[in-house]
Amino acid sequence: MLARTLGLILLASTFAVYAFAGTSGQGEKIFADGEKLMASEESCGDVIDNHKRLVEGSEEYFAKVFASSEAEFTPNDITVAQKVLKVRYEHLLKVLSKLQSPSDCNMPGLGRVVAVYDFNILAESTMDNPTARRTIHSFTKASDYGMKSFKEEYNYFTREKNIESIFKSLTRQEVGLLDMFGLAQSPEQSGIRSSTTIDKIKRIWGWTLGKGVIRTWGVVSDTLKVRHGYLRDSKDIRASVRSSLKPLDILFEQRRFVLSSLTIPGNWGHTAVWLGTKPELQAMGLWDRQDFAAFRKNIELGKNIVQMRKEGVVFSTLEEFMNLDEVAVMRVNKVQIDPASVYPLMAEQLNKSYDFSFDARTLGKITCTEFISFSFGDIKWPTHVQMGRLVISPDDIAKLSLDSTQAQLIMYVGSDSGKPQIKTVKDWFNVINPQN
């Protein structure tokens, strides 16, 4: 029963996306959907996914309502904000209860990580606003709102020493859990090495609370897998993807079976670059160039994909990469015209470490998308602001294809109900630009 429940984790959620013109209407919708979740039976995976969406929706709402001056607040604004926070907190308690129950999900450490995620998102965004902080404080003091334990829980899950203890414990528990279900045949296959992860956490904890939480969440959550990707064993799909690739094509991945996918906005969780094959690169006159030397060894070993992962730059084979639920290939027009200019810039990125602050303006540390943006030269990539930082997400990279003069989709493979399926260009645009 438990194995079956775990197998359902990270299924697509039916939770609504909040994009309403009226702030009050948006808050009422969030509250109503939260109430429905409280009354429904949710699987272990759905309860996590739904809560993440509830956090996202409520933070978007709080950002709007608390952007106004206090003089512009109406009693209804305060009432709706209280209802939204209350249902979010109640659903978090449901997450904790369900994941901690030995007779249900039996993943107590994972529940505590969700609480860390929730309260620290609240701390770094909404609670940073003095008006929001005063308003929320008033909610928690009033006995009628049922929020008496909120302050105690908030203080616990935002305290650095508690967060560090939670993540250390989670790592050990999840490694054992994966072994129990035969999903971690070896440390190399699973991508999890408990002591290494714990050491990383120890090394990074000199950061401020906000950056420390983001960084630690990234290190740990990227290792937590509960099944294999739906595309992993499809040789036909892998062959189709391989035949579609040209040097410097961008690969997009979606792995809903990995916890970190819950924290990345949009559909796509990661990007990588197809370097090309030795015959292709020889024909292009690039193989013997001095500035291509950094790539030759890995390409000769069949590791034609380069990417920035949490642990640093990684070269991999297509077979290794295809442990996915969805994959897409996008071709950037400008780099196809002058590929020789890209590889030297890409070589400059190889010794950099991962940017756990997700700040697209930093040069010394980079994310998977920044690896591409710094390598591909003078291209104006779509960006967005998240928690005060300029960010380039995988979906932002994909949105370059909305302008066909800039980039084009080559292939998109999904896995509806676990079955691999070739998707259309329309499907692609619906995924990367759902509001249009």
Please, which pLDDT band fits residue 72 given cuts at 50, 70 and 90? low
Residue 405's pLDDT is 94
DSSP state of 51: H
Nearest to 247 by CA among 278, 226, 293: 278
Q: Which of 114-123, 179-188, 329-338 has the lowest mean pLDDT?
A: 179-188
Rounded to an integer, what is the distance from CA 413 to the centroid of its chain? 19
Instruction: Provide, rounded to the nearest whole percent, the portion of the chain with pLDDT above 90.
Output: 38
Residue 189's pLDDT is 32
Please, which pLDDT band fits residue 192 given cuts at 50, 70 and 90? very low
Give yes or no for residue 245 having a pLDDT over 80.
Answer: yes
Tell me the residue type at 397. I
Q: Which of 111-115, 137-141, 169-173, 278-282 has the lowest mean pLDDT?
A: 169-173
Residue 145's pLDDT is 61
Alpha helix stretches (DSSP H) within 125-249? 130-141, 150-157, 160-180, 187-190, 194-204, 209-221, 235-244
Can you tell me the distance from the alpha carbon of 104 to that of 111, in angstroms, rounded to the nearest whole number? 12
Residue 295's pLDDT is 97
| 8 Å CB contact between 194 and 171 | yes
Q: Are strands 250-254 and 389-391 parallel, antiparallel or unpaired?
A: unpaired
DSSP state of 362: -
Give yes or no for residue 28 having a pLDDT over 70.
Answer: yes
Residue 24's pLDDT is 64
Can you tell me the distance from the alpha carbon of 154 to that of 176, in angstroms, rounded to the nearest whole number? 29
Q: Give the position of tokens 């529940």.
A: 111
Please, which pLDDT band fits residue 101 given cuts at 50, 70 and 90? confident
| 8 Å CB contact between 64 and 81 | no
Give yes or no for residue 167 having a pLDDT over 90.
Answer: no
| 8 Å CB contact between 426 and 351 | no
Tell me the residue type at 331. R
Residues 351-367: tens digit of each pLDDT: 999 887 778 888 889 99
Q: Are strands 365-366 and 421-422 parallel, antiparallel or unpaired?
A: unpaired
| 8 Å CB contact between 254 and 326 | yes
CB atoms near residue 8 (< 10 Å) = 13
Residues 285-318: tens digit of each pLDDT: 999 999 999 999 999 999 999 999 888 999 999 9
Can you tell me the distance from the alpha carbon of 246 to that of 277, in angstroms, rounded to the nearest whole number? 9
Can you tell me the distance from the alpha carbon of 429 to that of 32, in angstroms, rounded to the nearest whole number? 29
Q: Which strand (E) or helix (H) includes residue 122?
A: helix 108-124
The answer for 213, left when phi > 0, alpha when psi is -120 to 50, beta otherwise, is alpha
Please, which pLDDT band fits residue 99 given cuts at 50, 70 and 90? confident
Can you tell me the distance from the alpha carbon of 295 to that of 298, in angstroms, rounded to the nearest whole number? 6
pTM here is: 0.55
Tokens coding 344: 């030297």
Domains, the chain, in order of start with CATH, read: 2-158 (no CATH), 163-221 (no CATH), 235-432 (3.90.1720)
Average pLDDT along the chain: 77
Give yes or no for residue 86 having a pLDDT over 80.
Answer: yes
Q: Which strand (E) or helix (H) includes residue 343?
A: helix 342-347
Instruction: Provide, rounded to the nearest whole percent, the portion of the chain with pLDDT above 70.
Output: 74
Please, which pLDDT band fits residue 339 given cuts at 50, 70 and 90? very high
